[in-house]
Amino acid sequence: MRAVVQRVTQASCTVDDICTGAIKDGLLVLLGIAEDDTEKELEWLAQKLVNLRVFSDEAGLMNKSVRDIGGNILLISQFTLIAQTKKGNRPSFIEAAKPDKAEPLYQLMGKRLTTLLEKQVALGVFGADMKIDLRNDGPVTIILDTKANK
């Protein structure tokens, strides 16, 4: 799994002019799921996301997590994060999980983050053409990859 994590003051997802999820102060998480990903990678990443210290403490240092500040998460499925670009100019998505595998893992990630955060996580719509609006705070953008954990 690969995640692009952005610290935001606000973020929202719209599908067909309908807002499917919106947050203030928290993390926008773009999640890519690879064919070989399992619940083991999901659990590692979920723990990392809620405990990642990217929010400022009283001294202005990044020492607080989204859980520490009572923040929110907007989780968006994005298979393009698994793109391979080594050959040619057209990205290959052969390593991205197929929808029948990726969607259940995406939904499970939403549930796991909701449990760990102790509040409902906002979601996009799996497989939809989503429009994401955000105000990146900092900007702070972190890339997490479960393959780097191995």
- 65 touches 52 (CB < 8 A): yes
Q: How many CB atoms lie within 10 A of CB 119?
A: 15
- 121 touches 110 (CB < 8 A): yes
Whole-angstrom Cα distance, residue 95 to residue 77?
15
Query: Known catalytic residues?
Result: 78-80
